[in-house]
Structures are given as structure tokens and as C-alpha cells.
Amino acid sequence: MIIIIMTIYFSKKTTKHATEIATRIKKLLTLFNMVDYYYGELFQKLFIYMEFFSKKPVNRAVR
């Protein structure tokens, strides 16, 4: 989880790249959401924070 936060933090310069990473992680999370609900909730909070700090909103269609 720390690695993902660091990659998002370092790719703040290009917000498009960060949103692409976020959508990929979100698609993976929807597969494992029923298995691991707790980490799914943690990542949902993380993506809400990412939406808040990035210029373009993260795609909310997947969830």
C-alpha cells in the first residue's frame, strides 16, 4: 500500500498518469473487493483523497 501511495505521490506532476494508475488499481480492487472488504474500503478512501488532490477527477464508474 505504501508503494502505491509513493507512486501516486511521485506522479503528481502528470495527473493523467496518476489517474491511469488509479483506474488500473481500482479495476483490480473490484475483483478482490468481495474477498478483502477492509482493504477495499482503505483504497476507496485513498481514491477519494486522490480525487481531491488531482485536477481531473478519478473515474468513478468502476466500483
Distance CA 53, CA 39 (A): 21
pLDDT tens-digit map of 22-63: 777 777 777 666 556 666 677 777 777 777 776 555 555 555
Question: Residues 55, 37, 35, CA angle at the centre, nearest 5°?
Answer: 120
- 17: its cell numbers: 498518469
Q: What is the pTM of this model?
A: 0.28
